[in-house]
Amino acid sequence: MLKKLIRIRTAYATAYLVLGAMFAFFFAAPSSRLYAQEVRPAQTDASWQAAYWNNTDLAGDPVLTRQETSLSNNWSTSSPHALVNVDGFSARWTRYIDVTPGTYRFTATADDGIRLWVDGDLIIDQWRVQAVATYAAEKELGFGNHLIQVEYFEQSGTAIAQVGWTLATASPDLPAQPTTGWRGEYYNNQSLSGTPDLVRYDAEINFQWGTDSPGLGILADGFSARWTRVMELPAGDYRFSMTVDDGGRLFVNGQTVIDAWSDQRIATYTGDITLAGGPVTIQMEYYERTLGAYAILGWDWRPAAQAPPQPSIGWRAEYYNNRDLSGDPVLVRNDAAINFDWGRGSPDPGTVNVDNFSVRWTQRLNLPAGNYRFTTTADDGVRLAIDDRLLIDNWRQQPRTTNTGEIYLPGGPVNVVVTYFDAGDHAIAQLDWVQLSGQSGGSWRGQYFNNRDLSGAPEVVLDERAIDFDWGYDAPGLGIGRDNFSARWTRSLDLAPGRYRFSMSVDDGGRLFVNDRLVIDGWRDQP
Residues 6+ apart with CB under 8 A from 518: 511, 512
Mean pLDDT of 313-327: 89
Chain-centre distance for alpha carbon 176: 16
Residues 347 and 288 in one domain: no
Residues 325 and 395 in one domain: yes
Asked if pLDDT for residue 387 goes beyond 60, the answer is yes
Residues 75 and 134 in one domain: yes
Asked if pLDDT for residue 337 goes beyond 70, the answer is yes
Strand runs (DSSP E) across 99-215, as ranges?
102-111, 113-118, 121-126, 133-141, 145-154, 159-170, 182-187, 198-202, 206-210
DSSP assigned state of 283: E
Residues 214 and 193 in one domain: yes
The verdict on residue 274 lying in a domain is: yes
The verdict on residue 352 lying in a domain is: yes
Mean pLDDT of 300-320: 66
pLDDT recorded at residue 33: 35
Higher pLDDT, 162 or 471: 162
Residues 151 and 77 in one domain: yes
Last residue of a domain, one of 303, 326, 354: 303
Share of the chain above pLDDT 70, in %: 82
Q: Which residues of 349-362 are buried (b: 16+ CB within 10 A; e: fewer)?
A: eeebbbeebbbbbe
The verdict on residue 527 lying in a domain is: no
The verdict on residue 372 lying in a domain is: yes
CATH number at residue 372: 2.60.120.260
Rg (CA), the chain: 31
Residues 244 and 331 in one domain: no
pLDDT recorded at residue 503: 80
Asked if pLDDT for residue 447 goes beyond 50, the answer is yes
Residues 187 and 298 in one domain: yes
The verdict on residue 509 lying in a domain is: no
Residues 60 and 109 in one domain: yes
Task: Give me the domain span that covers residue 253.
Answer: 182-303
Tally of CA atoms within 13 A in the half-sphere of 410 that contains its CB:
4
pLDDT recorded at residue 221: 92
Instruction: Provide the domain count of the chain.
Output: 3
Instruction: Using CB atoms within 10 Å of the CB of residue 314, give its burial: 0 to 12 exposed, 13 to 18 middle, 19+ buried.
Output: middle
Q: How far apart are CA 165 and CA 464, in angstroms?
A: 45
Q: SS3 of 134, please?
A: strand
The verdict on residue 16 lying in a domain is: no
Residues 192 and 283 in one domain: yes
The verdict on residue 404 lying in a domain is: yes
Query: Is the distance from CB of 525 to CB of 62 less than 8 angstroms?
Result: no
Residues 287 and 334 in one domain: no
pLDDT recorded at residue 325: 93
Residues 6+ apart with CB under 8 A from 168: 102, 103, 104, 105, 138
> What SS3 string covers 327-394?
CCCCEEEEECCCEEEEECCCCCCCCCCCCCEEEEEEEEEEECCEEEEEEEEEECEEEEEECCEEEEEE
Q: How far apart are CA 486 and CA 465, in angstroms?
A: 18
> Tens digit of pLDDT for each residue in 72-108?
888 988 999 999 999 999 999 999 887 777 788 888 8
Residues 387 and 330 in one domain: yes
> Tens digit of pLDDT for each residue in 477-526?
766 788 888 998 887 776 666 777 788 888 888 888 888 788 888 888 77
pLDDT recorded at residue 18: 29
> Tens digit of pLDDT for each residue in 242-298?
999 999 999 999 899 999 999 998 888 888 898 888 888 899 999 999 888 999 998
Pick from 240-254, 318-332, 410-424, 511-525: least confident: 511-525
Residues 6+ apart with CB under 8 A from 437: 303
pLDDT recorded at residue 442: 52
Categorize the per-residue pLDDT at 195 as very low, low, confident or very high, splitting at 50, 70 and 90: confident
pLDDT recorded at residue 204: 81
pLDDT recorded at residue 425: 87
Q: Which residues of 191-226 are buried (b: 16+ CB within 10 A; e: fewer)?
A: ebeeebbbbbbbbbbebebeeebbbbebebeebbbb
Higher pLDDT, 73 or 310: 73
pLDDT recorded at residue 303: 62
Q: SS3 of 110, please?
A: strand
pLDDT recorded at residue 189: 94
Last residue of a domain, one of 415, 435, 455: 435
pLDDT recorded at residue 16: 25
pLDDT recorded at residue 463: 66
> Tens digit of pLDDT for each residue in 129-188?
998 888 888 888 877 678 999 999 999 999 999 888 777 664 444 333 334 568 889 999
Categorize the per-residue pLDDT at 39 as very low, low, confident or very high, splitting at 50, 70 and 90: very low
Categorize the per-residue pLDDT at 527 as very low, low, confident or very high, splitting at 50, 70 and 90: low
pLDDT recorded at residue 312: 43
CATH number at residue 116: 2.60.120.380
Residues 78 and 145 in one domain: yes
Share of the chain above pLDDT 90, in %: 33
The verdict on residue 235 lying in a domain is: yes
Task: Find, among 310, 260, 315, the residue nearest to 284 by Cα.
Answer: 260
Last residue of a domain, one of 435, 464, 479: 435
Q: What is the mean pLDDT of the chain?
A: 80
